[in-house]
Amino acid sequence: MLAEQPAREIAEIEEELGAVERAPSKEEILAAARRPIELLEAAPNLYVSQGPAEKARLLKTMVSNFVVNDGNVSVSMRSPFDVLARGAKTQDWWS
């Protein structure tokens, strides 16, 4: 039984090392972080220039809830667009 413990520990360490090796690179993380910002910047032009199906897809990507109240539409943004919109509005990017 004592001989099994070091083998189990070695297997756990090897598993943790494998997870670290499979982790995304810094470049991949930064590229993934840039995509929502680029989409947010392009959204107004994309919406104006696209057809109805593409407009619907864009809205479904960025917005989760549409509420119509007295003829006014309000929306809830999906993550991470909600954080970006709140930061742009308040200039408080860390809350």
- What is residue 87's three-state secondary structure? helix
Cα–Cα distances (Å) from 18 to 10, 15, 24, 28, 38, in that order, read 12, 5, 12, 18, 32
Residue bearing the bigger pLDDT, 87 or 45: 45
Enumerate the domain spans of the chain: 11-90
> Is the pLDDT reported for residue 95 higher than 60?
no
3-state helix/strand/coil string of 65-83? EEEEECCEEEEEECCCHHH
Per-residue pLDDT of 39-80, as tens digits, reads: 888 999 999 999 999 999 998 999 988 888 898 988 888 888
State the Cα–Cα distance between residues 51 and 24, nearest whole angstrom. 35
- Tokens representing residue 84 in the block: 């970006």
